[in-house]
Amino acid sequence: MTRDSMLRCGALLSAALLSLMATVCWSQQPSLTWLGGLPRYSQSIAYGVSADGRVVVGVAFIVVGLGRAFRWENGVMQDLGTLGSDYSFARGVSADGHIVVGGTEDAAGRNRRALRWTAERGIEDLNLTYAQLLTPGSRLATAYAVSPDGRYIVGTGYNAAANRWEAFLLDTGFPLRGDVDRNGCVDDADLLRVLFAFGGQGYRNEDLNWDGAIDDADLLIVLFRFGSGC
């Protein structure tokens, strides 16, 4: 193939790629979805969304101080509960939509407690789950956000040692970096999960650095952490 032929082929290929990219971009039409409410709780506010927009979290309510935290997916709004109080709300969700964080309080806005919800464990009070990390009199009041992998939770609480309200960063210790299947051990199973999903797109557990692509960077995380927790 002559140099001119190679240049013409390159130009045609570039034009084809640009045309394909334009078609893909133009085909992504904007959309709007009204999420509705829960039975008895007809109004709603959304506070957080998963990385791919599949899961939305927030609060459904009828009056201020009387509402329920919700998790919405595929057109279904799920009531997450209240830990026995009058009001709960979801503020943040992990990238894959699996872990939800927020808070709960009574109708007067008192007795605030930070919460976490997962399908496996349901709703839980972070003050009880991580009681060993709190000094006497301290309290985690509200969780506002969670890291993409669900390990780190941030919010506000009362630090009794300093006698003031402060922001907090809670390291739950789970999952370990590289632990794709969330079993507490970075091993062959995690390596295989990444290899079989290699080249894929989307925010999944195999996308360990949560950049939307399963690639070398994710594979290296498993290799560097191999054996952790085992």
State the pTM of this model: 0.79
- Check pLDDT > 90 for residue 174: no
What percent of the chain lies above the pLDDT cut of 90?
A: 71
pLDDT of residue 101: 98
CB 117 within 8 A of CB 71: yes
| pLDDT (mean) for 35-64 | 94
What percent of the chain lies above the pLDDT cut of 70?
A: 88
CB 57 within 8 A of CB 91: yes
Of residues 134 and 181, more confidence is placed in 134
Cα-based torsion angle of the residue sequence 153, 159, 164, 168 in order, rounded to the nearest 10 degrees: -10
**Alpha helices of 59-172 — where are they, by DSSP H?**
126-129
- Check pLDDT > 80 for residue 18: no
Q: Report the range of poorest mean pLDDT among 10-14, 24-28, 45-49, 142-146.
A: 10-14
Work out the pLDDT band at 12, boundaries 50, 70, 90.
very low
The tens digit of pLDDT for each residue in 63-118 reads: 877 899 999 999 999 999 999 998 999 999 999 899 999 999 987 778 999 999 99
Residue of 61, 64, 63, 65 whose CA lies nearest to 45: 61
Average pLDDT, the chain: 88
**CATH class of this structure's domain 43-171:** mainly beta
Residue of 135, 203, 136, 133 whose CA lies nearest to 169: 133
DSSP 8-class letter at 135: P
| pLDDT (mean) for 40-67 | 93
pLDDT of residue 1: 43
User: What tokens appear for 86 in the block?
Assistant: 């009058």
Of residues 11 and 43, more confidence is placed in 43
- Check pLDDT > 50 for residue 19: no
pLDDT of residue 153: 98
Residue of 136, 121, 104 whose CA lies nearest to 174: 121
Domain ranges in the chain?
A: 43-171, 175-230
| pLDDT (mean) for 162-178 | 94
Long-range contacts, 211-215 (Cβ 8 Å, 24+):
212/51
Distance of CA 86 to the CA centre of its chain: 25
pLDDT of residue 9: 41
- Check pLDDT > 60 for residue 4: no
Residue of 15, 72, 18 whose CA lies nearest to 45: 72
- Check pLDDT > 60 for residue 11: no
- Could you say which of 1.20.120.330, 2.60.40.10, 3.60.110.10, 1.10.1330.10 is the CATH number of the domain covering 175-230? 1.10.1330.10
Find the length of the chain: 230
| pLDDT (mean) for 208-230 | 92
User: What tokens appear for 180 in the block?
Assistant: 């794709």
Q: Cis peptide before 30, with omega less than 30 degrees from 0?
A: no
- Cα(73)–Cα(97) distance, integer angstroms: 9
Place of tokens 């009362």: 158
